[in-house]
């Protein structure tokens, strides 16, 4: 059980933060395209800049990983 494992470059990947966002708190342009959802998920960079808003948490994590970023859940 004492084997080295290569985690690849993930440790050097930039961290992004995934947090739920209520649609009612977003600008009208987002609310118009929310397709009746009450909650979306925002992906933020380390500096707090919003990078993306997506439909669900799973998609937010997949988006981050596909762009060589390390997602972290924020409550």
pLDDT attached to residue 31: 87
Phi first, then psi, for residue 43 (nearest 5°) are -110, 120
DSSP 64: H
Domain presence at residue 10? no
CA–CA distance from 3 to each of 6, 7, 37, 64, 72 (Å)? 10, 12, 45, 28, 26
Q: Encode pLDDT of 29-72 as tens digits.
A: 888 888 889 999 999 999 999 999 999 999 999 999 999 999 99
Domain presence at residue 13? no
Q: Whole-angstrom Cα distance, residue 31 to residue 29? A: 6
Q: Which of the four pLDDT bands, split at 50, 70 and 90, describes residue 7?
A: low
Instruction: State how many domains the chain has.
Output: 1
Q: Which residues span the domain enclosing 29?
A: 19-73
- Is the predicted pLDDT of residue 4 greater than 80, yes or no? no
pLDDT attached to residue 29: 86
DSSP H helices in 1-75: 28-31, 57-66
* CB atoms inside a 10 Å sphere around CB 49: 9
């Amino acid at each position: 059980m004492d084997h080295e494992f290569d985690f690849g470059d993930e440790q050097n990947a930039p961290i992004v933060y995934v947090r739920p966002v209520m649609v009612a708190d977003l600008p009208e342009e987002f609310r118009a395209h929310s397709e009746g959802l009450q909650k979306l998920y925002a992906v933020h960079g380390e500096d707090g800049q919003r990078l993306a808003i997506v439909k669900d948490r799973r998609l937010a994590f997949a988006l981050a990983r596909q762009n060589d970023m390390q997602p972290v859940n924020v409550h």
